[in-house]
Amino acid sequence: MTRGAVVAAGMATAVGSLPARGDTCAATATPAPAGVAWEDGVIAYAGLADGLPWEPTTGSPDKGCLVPGFVDAHVHLPFFGWRADEFEARVQGASYRELHGEEGGIFRSSRLLREASDDAVMAFCRPLLDEMLRHGTTSVELKTGYGLSVEDELRAARLARRLAAEAGQTARVTLLACHAVPAGMTRADWVQAACDELIPEAAKQGLADQVDVYVEDIAFTLDDLTAVAEVATRWGLPLRVHADQLGPSGAAEAAVGLGARSADHLNNCSPNGVAALGAAPATVAMLLPASTFSLGANRPPVEALREAGAAIAIATDFNPGTSPTCSMPLAIAMAATLYGLAPLEALTAATANPAWVLGLTDRGMLKPGMRADVLLLEEAGFAQVPYRPGHNPVVTTFVGGEAASPAGR
Ligand code: NIG
Ligand code: FE
């Protein structure tokens, strides 16, 4: 039996039933010396340091804060290569929509991925997962979506599974079955291929844990979403939806109607969408402020969502087009500064709620029985995290009770 424990000047964690919303959405802070103890990777105790069942192996009661590991539940890895020149063009006035052509945007990332060997893709992605680990991400989603053919999507899912097996953190794979209409195909033909071949094949081979659709005027429609949802449900795969990012489409309310685990982005979510998410028993509003920042986009109706009672999560949306950041502390800072989330509300949104979205019910909170995914942060209060955007506040990332030692810078 392996035992460990860490102590710090404070602790903060979400509590209560999930997904947390309304009164329970702010994490509870313990502004006094606190500790977490674990046995064989599972938390045995979390609370005041005085009550620790055995001596701490690390940390100090005078400094730092303990929080659950971050769960980044919207991530577009695997991809290969960057698109800084598109960013440069956007800064000078080009729009994301304009750059979304055969040579740019998602299509370009698709070509780059296709032209790279499996080993090259792995070598590109591994250090990025390490970077995420250093920034406290102990569970992560890996989305496909740059395949744009049945074969290449299956390959992306296989590469995601391979990355998951090697990564220092837990990874769940989402098949982003409808991301862009492949060149030379009609939208209807691709949706049919996704429904008849891609999703069933990915499910049979055990390559995907969830299915996602990008609903947008440059991508897929509500009818396409409904068709994909039906097939995903048949194969037992929970649904995720890219909803109302560039314009309003009604995707948020459709996501709720279809029982999706989350509606993501929501920059242009309508009042109906807000009401639907507020009343949704099981669809989380996944906010992606780093892509809002990078695109200079309008913010989602965050106050209205909160007031309606929506459950809120935050993720990086890490991808080479709209969000080249993979740091959850930075996404949390942007959620606070751009979206007005209180620091402790942002903590729940970055831990317990996204764990629920990914179906990882054994983590996201510091309490007995949960996996010992714990972060030792450098300052005592969690507000320090959003207060210092761009700084990495993580001193130690514990994954299942082991201090992670990710390679790299
Ligand atoms: O979540 N919105 C669609 N997909 C990504 C961007 C993909 C890309 O530009 O490569 C997003 O923002
Ligand atoms: Fe996305």
Per-residue pLDDT reduced to its tens digit, 22-48: 888 899 999 999 999 999 999 999 999
Q: Minimum-distance ligand to the CA of 214?
A: 1
Q: Which atom of ligand 1 is nearest to the CA of 320?
A: 10
- Who lines ligand 1 at CB under 6 A? 76, 105-106, 109, 214, 242, 245, 291, 317, 319-322
Residue 342 Cα to ligand 1 midpoint, Å, equals 27
Per-residue pLDDT reduced to its tens digit, 66-122: 999 999 999 999 999 999 999 999 999 999 999 998 789 999 999 999 999 999 999
For the chain, give the mean pLDDT.
97
Q: Which atom of ligand 1 is nearest to the CA of 295?
A: 12
Residue 119 Cα to ligand 1 midpoint, Å, equals 24
If one looks up domain 71-357 in CATH, what number appears? 3.20.20.140
> What value, to the nearest 5°, has the Cα angle with vertex 396 and ends 394 and 400?
120
CA trace torsion 368, 373, 375, 380 (10° rounding): -10
Q: Where are the domains of the chain?
A: 3-68+363-406, 71-357
* 389: nearest Cα among 304, 322, 332: 332
Q: In what order do the strands lie in the sheet with 210-214?
A: 70-72, 137-143, 170-178, 210-214, 239-243, 262-265, 284-287, 312-314
| Sequence letter at residue 296 | G
Q: Which atom of ligand 1 is nearest to the CA of 242?
A: 2
The answer to whether residue 408 scores a pLDDT higher than 70 is: no
Q: Which residues pair with 397 in a beta bridge?
A: 375
Check: CATH 2.30.40.10 for 3-68+363-406?
yes
The answer to whether residue 220 scores a pLDDT higher than 80 is: yes
Mean pLDDT of 142-171: 98
Q: In the numeric block, which tokens belong to residue 89?
A: 């063009």
Residue with the nearest Cα to atom 11 of ligand 1? Answer: 322
Candidate of 72, 86, 95, 106 to mutate for ligand 1, largest count of ligand atoms within 8 Å of Cβ: 106
Mean pLDDT of 357-362: 98
